[in-house]
Structure 1
């Protein structure tokens, strides 16, 4: 949700509540109307999202016909994420952010993750501390996923439906646990290697090699990656690509426990 839309959303919310509450509750609302009302913007955002089941609501792109590409950003939120969000907003582009719980906790008050959600991006679980999940005990695996789930849900009100195993480290046990947690495993088929090669032009060139249905791996914790975004958007835009979230790429919420690397011509 855009910041400028908050007052309009508030008016709409108040109207809906007034029209839908029982008569006895209306009386209480009218009695209290004489007192000043203090609105908590965080609670308001949660209530607005609660009115939209299945967040984030898909824009219903037909990626079986369109040339769609899903840009994904790992390991944040970090010091460059806010600038990235500005760039994506300017282009009206939605992406998917796989966040680390410790990084979310370091962002005091959850300012960045709330903006990720408010701007309509998809948010996913990237574990609490970024270990290779396939090497963990069952208890440690559960904690890595659950702690990140809890902090994101507390700060944003959103129940994540996708996750990315750090380093792509997964196995049958990870698949079983993500299935229990209601999380699909999202990998990638285009690796920009932006963590290794901190050169914006190189990152943009590699992202520009995406094909229809690609899931592109990027990291918003690197300044050079954020600097590459305008050029990669221009490159893919000239090729006629539509930028979508992971769920929009598949036209539905991906199935829990299942592993996805790209959308194939058959829609899988």
Structure 2
């Protein structure tokens, strides 16, 4: 009887333990199922939310979005990689380096900048897409206003040349003074524009052996001109100057033949009458089939 009671008790205990084990397994399965469902729901919900969101617009890097510094860097990079197409010969003409390069070109240069009209002249040339070299004097760059004008001319893409600090006639002074006239202005131009000038023109076109050697050592191109009339009194008039520059003739100063020819190196100045005639001069030369040389395509000393 006792054995039967013990057997019955043990059987009951085993049944209870089995039931508990089954309940625990069921609970674990339910918990795992709920966790899986939660992950699926979260993933579905995130995907739906993402589907409702619009992709942020991609803004292209166009000219309007670029800072002035970025534009300047790009312009300088283009200038650095431009291959030379022309040289200046012994008679100051612009000559192609290779056959097939356009010969019917002229070079525009403007001296004594920025006195009064240089910025206005640069704006005119920029509008007409006509490149030029602005040869500057240091004594015009002693105020913040004039420095800013030169900076603007440079940022418009025009080449800046050295025309000595005080517009000094170099043959009248010693070598040390010549060096000072050239190097001080080089430093000032580089301070203002961030670039050392690549072109040099002596006042009155009078070079010395010392200045010629120094300019070459500094890697600058020595420059003069083939014709220019705005500093002669009869041509201190916009209409007469326009006719003279387009035709190449200046009968009032006994030049009754035309100096205009392929490769002409044209001299002008920062003057009221020149500024007034400039647009007509550019258009008149183009009407004759001439293109304007980009100074950055001129071969300079290495």
TM (normalized to structure 1)? 0.72
Match of 2:66 in 1: 9
RMSD: 2.6
SS in 2 for 1:54: helix
Match of 2:267 in 1: 217
SS in 2 for 1:93: coil
1:147 positional shift: 1.1
Match of 1:132 in 2: 169
Go from structure 1 to structure 2 and tell me whether the alpha carbon gap of 1:184 and 1:50 turns closer, same or farther (over 3 Å shift): closer
SS in 1 for 2:262: coil
1:158 positional shift: 0.9
1:195–1:219 CA contact under 8 A, matched in 2 = no
1:163 positional shift: 0.5
Match of 1:200 in 2: 238
Question: Aligned partners of 2:287 and 2:84: how far apart in 1?
Answer: 21
Q: How does 1:223-234 map to 2 (within 5 A)?
A: 223-234=272-283
1:184–1:254 CA contact under 8 A, matched in 2 = yes
Unaligned runs of 5+ in 1: 11-40, 257-268
Aligned residues: 216
SS in 1 for 2:80: coil
Question: Aligned partners of 1:69 and 1:218: how far apart in 2?
Answer: 13
Question: Aligned partners of 2:199 and 2:84: how far apart in 1?
Answer: 18
1:112 positional shift: 1.5
1:103 aligns with 2:140: yes
Q: Which has the higher helix share?
A: 2
SS in 2 for 1:153: helix
Of residues 177, 181, 186 in structure 1, which corresponds to 2:214?
A: 177
Go from structure 1 to structure 2 and tell me whether the alpha carbon gap of 1:194 and 1:111 turns closer, same or farther (over 3 Å shift): same
Structure 1 or 2, whichever has the larger Rg, is 2
1:54 aligns with 2:97: no
